[in-house]
Amino acid sequence: MAFDANRDDLTVGVIGTGAMGRGIVQVAAAGGMRVLMTDTRPGAAAEARDFVDKMLARAAEKGSITRDEAAAATGRIQVVGGPADMKPCHVVIEAIVENLQAKQELFGELEAIVAPDCILATNTSSLSVVTIASKLKTPGRFAGLHFFNPVPLMKLVEVVEGLRTEAWVVEALMTVGRRMTREPVHLKDAPGFLVNQVGRGFTLEASHLAYEGIAGFIDVDRVMRDVGGFRMGPFELMELTGLDVTHPASELIYNQFFHEPRYRPNLIMRSRYEAGVLGRKTKRGFYDYDAEMKPVIAPEQPAPAAHPGSVWVSPAEPQGCAALTELLKKLGARIESGAKPDARALILVTPIGQDATTCAVEQGLDPKRTVAVDTLFPMAKRRTIMGTPLTDEGYRQGAHGLLASDGVPVTVCRDSPGFIAQRIVAMIVNIGCSIAQSRTAQPADIDKAVTLGLNYPHGPFKFGDVLGPGRVYQVLSSMHRIYGDPRYRPDIWLTRRARLGVSLLTPEP
Each residue of 353-390: b (16+ CB within 10 Å) or e?
A: bbbbbbbbeeeebbbebbbbbbbbbebeebbbbbbbee
According to DSSP, residue 443 is labeled H
Write out the DSSP string of 34-71.
EEEEE-SSTTHHHHHHHHHHHHHHHHHHHTSS-HHHHH
**Residue with smaller CB distance to ligand NAI, 17 or 203:** 17
Longest dimension (CA), the chain: 84
Cα gap 69→1, rounded to integer Å: 32
Residue numbers 106-125 binding ligand NAI by CB under 6 A: 106, 123-125
Write the CB contacts of 394 (distance below 8 Å, at least 6 apart in sequence). Answer: 306
- Contact segment (CB under 6 A) with ligand NAI among 33-41, 269-277, 403-411, 423-431 equals 33-41
- Answer whether 431's CB lies under 8 Å from 197's CB: yes
Q: How far is the CB of 232 from ligand NAI (least distance, A)?
A: 16
Q: Is 307 a catalytic residue?
A: no
- Answer whether 156's CB lies under 8 Å from 196's CB: no
Per rule CB under 6 A, is residue 15 in the interface with ligand NAI?
yes
User: How are beta strands 142-147 and 156-161 bridged, if at all?
Assistant: antiparallel
Residues in the chain: 509
Q: How far is the CB of 13 from ligand NAI (least distance, A)?
A: 11
Q: Which residue of 7, 41, 231, 499 would you call a contact of ligand NAI, by CB under 6 A?
A: 41
Q: Is 158 a catalytic residue?
A: yes
Q: How far is the CB of 146 from ligand NAI (least distance, A)?
A: 6
**Catalytic pick among 123, 196, 434, 478:** 196
Q: Which residue of 40, 138, 405, 503 would you call a contact of ligand NAI, by CB under 6 A?
A: 40
Per rule CB under 6 A, is residue 84 in the interface with ligand NAI?
no
Chain centroid to Cα 402, Å, comes to 34
Q: Which residue of 4, 9, 19, 393 would you call a contact of ligand NAI, by CB under 6 A?
A: 19
- Give the CB-nearest residue to ligand NAI: 18
Q: Which residue of 39, 111, 158, 239 would you call a contact of ligand NAI, by CB under 6 A?
A: 39
Cα gap 464→455, rounded to integer Å: 16
**Catalytic pick among 94, 111, 125, 128:** 125
H or E stretch at 142? strand 142-147
Give the dihedral sign, CA 356/361/364/370. positive
Per rule CB under 6 A, is residue 79 in the interface with ligand NAI?
no
Q: Which residue of 10, 12, 14, 44 would you call a contact of ligand NAI, by CB under 6 A?
A: 44
Q: Which residue of 17, 104, 250, 397 would you call a contact of ligand NAI, by CB under 6 A?
A: 17
Cα gap 287→217, rounded to integer Å: 8
Per rule CB under 6 A, is residue 184 in the interface with ligand NAI?
no
Question: How far apart, in Å, are the Cα atoms of 306 and each of 3, 289, 356, 369, 389?
Answer: 72, 34, 21, 14, 20
Per rule CB under 6 A, is residue 16 in the interface with ligand NAI?
yes
Q: Which of 219, 218, 206 is nearest to 385 (CA)?
A: 219
Chain centroid to Cα 460, Å, comes to 10
Q: Which residue of 4, 9, 61, 98 would you call a contact of ligand NAI, by CB under 6 A?
A: 98
**Catalytic pick among 90, 94, 123, 146:** 146
Q: How far is the CB of 185 from ligand NAI (least distance, A)?
A: 14
Per rule CB under 6 A, is residue 223 in the interface with ligand NAI?
no
**Residue with smaller CB distance to ligand NAI, 156 or 209:** 156
Which positions from 235 to 274 touch ligand NAI by CB under 6 A, shown as an x/- string?
----------------------------------------
Per rule CB under 6 A, is residue 95 in the interface with ligand NAI?
yes
**Residue with smaller CB distance to ligand NAI, 23 or 418:** 23
User: How are beta strands 119-122 and 91-94 bridged, if at all?
Assistant: parallel
Per rule CB under 6 A, is residue 354 in the interface with ligand NAI?
no
Per rule CB under 6 A, is residue 279 in the interface with ligand NAI?
no
3-state SS track over 210-252: HHCCCCCHHHHHHHHHHCCCCCCCHHHHHHHHCHHHHHHHHHH
**Residue with smaller CB distance to ligand NAI, 96 or 420:** 96
* Amino acid present at 227: V
Chain centroid to Cα 46, Å, comes to 34
**Residue with smaller CB distance to ligand NAI, 144 or 417:** 144
Count residues contacting ligand NAI (CB under 6 A)? 23
Give the dihedral sign, CA 463/469/474/476. positive
Per rule CB under 6 A, is residue 28 in the interface with ligand NAI?
no
Q: Which residue of 57, 71, 72, 102 would you call a contact of ligand NAI, by CB under 6 A?
A: 102
Which positions from 121 to 160 touch ligand NAI by CB under 6 A, shown as an x/- string?
--xxx---------------------xxx-----------
- Contact segment (CB under 6 A) with ligand NAI among 97-105, 108-116, 204-212, 439-447 equals 97-105
H or E stretch at 395? helix 393-403
Q: Which residue of 96, 143, 253, 352 would you call a contact of ligand NAI, by CB under 6 A?
A: 96
Cα gap 504→444, rounded to integer Å: 10
Active-site residues, by number, are 125, 146, 158, 196
Binding residues vs ligand NAI (CB under 6 A): 15-21, 39-41, 44, 95-98, 102, 106, 123-125, 147-149
